[in-house]
Structure 1
Amino acid sequence: MNMKQWDRIRTGQGFIAALDQSGGSTPKALLQYGITEDSYSNEDQMYAMVHEMRTRIIKSPAFDSKNILGAILFENTMDRLIDGQYTADYLWEKKGIVPFLKIDKGLAEPEDGVQLMKPIPGLNDLLKRANERNIFGTKMRSVIKEANPSGIKKVVEQQFEVGKQILEAGLVPIIEPEVDIHSTDKTTSEKLLKEELSAQLSKLGKDVKVMLKLSIPTENNFYRELMDDPHVLRIVALSGGYTQAEANDKLAHNQGLIASFSRALSQGLSAGQSEEEFNALLSKSVEAIYAASIQ
Structure 2
Amino acid sequence: MADHSKMREQMKSGAGFIAALDQSGGSTPKALSLYGVEPSDYSGDEEMFRAMHAMRARIILAQDFTSAKVIGAILFERTMNETIEDKPVADLLWNERGVVPFLKIDKGLEAEADGVQLMKPMPGLDALLAQAKGKGIFGTKERSVINEANEKGIADIVAQQFDVARTVIGAGLVPILEPEVNIHAKTKAEAEDLLEAEIRKHLDTLPEGVDVMLKLTIPDVPGLYDRLAKHPRVLRVVALSGGYSTDEASEKLARNKHMIASFSRALTEGLNVKMSDAEFNAALGANIDKIYRASI
TM-score, normalised on structure 2? 0.98
Q: How many residues align?
A: 294
* Cα deviation code 1:5-30 (max 9, x no counterpart): 01000010000000000011011111
Aligned residue identity for 2:101: P
Aligned residue identity for 1:246: E
Partner of 1:291: 293
Aligned residue identity for 2:232: P
Structure 2 CA distance for aligned equivalents of residues 215 and 146 of structure 1: 13
1:71 aligns to what SS in structure 2? strand
Shift of 1:132: 1.3
Shift of 1:43: 0.9
Aligned residue identity for 2:11: I
Structure 2 CA distance for aligned equivalents of residues 263 and 38 of structure 1: 22
Shift of 1:2: 1.1
Question: Is 1:181 equivalent to 2:183 in the alignment?
Answer: yes
Shift of 1:39: 1.1
Structure 1 CA distance for aligned equivalents of residues 209 and 93 of structure 2: 28
Shift of 1:253: 0.5
Which of residues 155, 158, 161 is equivalent to 2:160? 158
Partner of 1:216: 218
Shift of 1:50: 0.4
Which of residues 4, 7, 14 is equivalent to 1:5? 7
Question: Is 1:102 equivalent to 2:104 in the alignment?
Answer: yes
Partner of 1:44: 46
Partner of 1:267: 269
CA RMSD between the two structures: 0.6
Partner of 2:259: 257
Question: Is 1:28 equivalent to 2:30 in the alignment?
Answer: yes
Aligned ranges 1:235-254 → 2 under 5 Å: 235-254=237-256
Partner of 1:167: 169
1:24 aligns to what SS in structure 2? coil
Segments of 4+ moved more than 4 angstroms: none
Which of residues 199, 215, 221 is equivalent to 1:197? 199
Question: Is 1:127 equivalent to 2:129 in the alignment?
Answer: yes
Shift of 1:206: 1.4
Percent sequence identity is 53
1:23 aligns to what SS in structure 2? coil
Which of residues 227, 230, 237 is equivalent to 1:228? 230
TM-score, normalised on structure 1? 0.99
Aligned residue identity for 1:267: E
Structure 2 CA distance for aligned equivalents of residues 197 and 36 of structure 1: 40
2:26 aligns to what SS in structure 1? helix
Partner of 2:283: 281
1:181 aligns to what SS in structure 2? coil
* Cα deviation code 1:171-204 (max 9, x no counterpart): 0000000000011111100010011100110111
Aligned ranges 1:60-99 → 2 under 5 Å: 60-99=62-101
Structure 2 CA distance for aligned equivalents of residues 123 and 183 of structure 1: 31
Aligned residue identity for 2:113: E
1:51 aligns to what SS in structure 2? helix
* Cα deviation code 1:247-270 (max 9, x no counterpart): 000000011210000000000001
